[in-house]
C-alpha cells in the first residue's frame, strides 16, 4: 500500500537547524522512499513498510541524541499526488 507522510521536526534546542537538515539527509539515504523538501515540513512517499521503517530508524536516531525533539506526523493511505480533492 502506498502512503504519503507530512512530517515536521522541532528540536527544542538552541541549534535547531542542523538536526533538521541531518534528519532529512538521513531520510534521503533510504532509496525506497521519495522525499520532497518544503519550507514548513517534509513530504515522504512510498510503500507503507518502507516509509515507516525509514522513519522508525531515523526518528529513533534523533531521539537518542536530542530526546526533547518533537515530531508532528500526518499520514494518508494513498499517494497524495494521485488524490483528486473536491471542495468540502
All structural domains of the chain: 2-82 (3.30.70.930)
Residues near 27 by beta carbon (within 8 Å), at least 6 away in sequence:
33, 35, 42, 44, 54, 55, 58
**C-alpha to C-alpha distances, 87 to 67, 80, 84, nearest whole angstrom:** 40, 16, 10
Band the pLDDT of 79: cuts 50, 70, 90: confident
Q: Are 50 and 38 in contact (CB under 8 A)?
A: no
- In angstroms, rounded to a whole number, what is the distance separating the alpha carbons of residues 7 and 9? 7
pLDDT bin (cut points 50, 70, 90) of residue 80 is: confident
Query: Measured between alpha carbons, how far is 77 from 31 in angstroms, rounded to an integer?
Result: 20
**Each residue's pLDDT tens digit, 40-62:** 999 999 999 999 999 999 999 99
Amino acid at each position: 500500500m502506498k502512503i504519503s507522510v507530512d512530517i515536521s521536526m522541532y528540536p527544542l534546542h538552541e541549534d535547531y537547524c542542523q538536526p533538521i537538515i541531518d534528519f532529512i539527509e538521513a531520510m534521503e539515504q533510504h532509496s525506497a522512499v521519495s522525499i520532497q523538501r518544503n519550507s514548513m515540513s517534509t513530504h515522504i512517499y512510498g510503500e507503507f513498510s518502507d516509509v515507516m521503517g525509514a522513519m522508525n530508524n531515523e526518528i529513533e536516531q534523533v531521539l537518542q541524541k536530542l530526546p526533547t525533539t518533537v515530531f508532528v506526523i500526518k499520514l494518508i493511505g494513498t499517494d497524495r499526488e494521485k488524490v483528486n480533492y473536491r471542495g468540502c
